[in-house]
Structure 1
Amino acid sequence: MYKKEKLVENKFTWPICKDLLFLVLEDRVSDVFVCELVWERLFYTKELSINDWAFSALTPSYWSEKFEKAPQIISERPASIHLTRSIPKEYKQGLKNFLNFKGYRINELYPRRTRRATAVNWLIYWAIENDCFSKDSGLMPSPSSPPVNPVKGHFGDPQIK
């Protein structure tokens, strides 16, 4: 997928581990946080001058040609679809096979939830493909409570489109 030299040079804010992925699935981190996990691994970089994330020379062309700025993977359907399509077939069952995740109940399904599951599945694919899973859950974000209104998300999350 990516050359190891590129990964070594890049510093990721949070290592990918099972506990972190479950925080995403349990809605205990914001949509913004989830997007940033994916954006870093797609090599989008935070541009302070424009207060936004933009593609870099390392961003795969599959992404940079469609999204100059890092896409809102959770709130925007086209970005979520693009993420789903970027997962190779042999990794499509990552949630089930790697995390033993049984899925959501029917009354828990709404766009935010399914898009978060897609992001987790992509992160599983990325971490396996790049041999970047952390066995240590030491560095973890502070979990928050799930949002009061799970359809809208956490305070500060972009509106679902």
Structure 2
Amino acid sequence: MVPLPPLTTDTIQQILDDTLDDDTLHHLVWHYLGYRYDEIEKCWQLDLVDPAWAEKYPEPPKFIEERPPTVQLTRAIPKPYKALLKEKMGFKGYTIDQLIPRLTRRATMASWLLSYMAQNGLLVG
């Protein structure tokens, strides 16, 4: 299991700055979606995963490599939290030369994690 960083705005900033590696980022999102890997059974446990996710993705999806799960992640952000990257992080988006799927999908993951933080009382200020 990849050691997870704390879910803080500093971690969100690392995601946006592309200084948190992709593998760790995937594991972080999987964790907060409820995916847990059972080392003994050598399989993913879905007990904590929302049924809509578990049915479509019985194994946690690779958001950076695949567009459909990233679209589902975007849709999973409640409307009141859609602008948190801009409001709380001051994120203005990427420049034209940075508009590549990998970075935009990382931003989606950061946005979803930030909305998770807001919904669970983890977003200070």
Does the TM-score normalized on the shorter chain lie above 0.5? yes
**What secondary structure, in the 3-state scheme, does the structure 1 residue paired with 2:56 have?**
coil
**How far is 1:50 from its partner?**
6.8
* Partner Cα distance (1:80, 1:49) in 2: 29
| Structure-2-length-normalised TM-score | 0.88
RMSD of aligned alpha carbons: 2.0
Structure 1: which 5+ residue stretches go unaligned?
1-11, 136-161
Task: Please list every run of at least 4 consecutive aligned residues from structure 1 whose deviation after the TM superposition is greater than 6 angstroms.
Answer: none
Correspondent of 1:37 among 1, 9, 28: 28
- Within a 5 Å distance, the mapping from 1:8-157 to structure 2 comes to 13-48=4-39, 54-133=44-123
Letter in 2 for 1:88: P
Aligned to 1:152: none
TM-score by length of 1: 0.70
Kindly provide the CA deviation profile for residues 21-43 of structure 1, in whole angstroms up to 9, marking residues without a partner as x.
11111111211111111111111
Q: Pick 1 or 2: higher relative contact order, CA cutoff 8 A, min separation 6.
A: 1
Q: Alignment length, in residue pairs?
A: 123
Quote how far apart the aligned CAs of 1:88 are. 1.2
Runs (5+) with no aligned partner, structure 2: none
- Of structures 1 and 2, the larger Rg is shown by 1
CA distance in 2, matches of 1:23, 1:129: 21
Q: Tell me how far apart the structure 2 counterparts of residues 104 and 64 of structure 1 sit (CA, whole Å).
A: 32
Higher helix share: 2
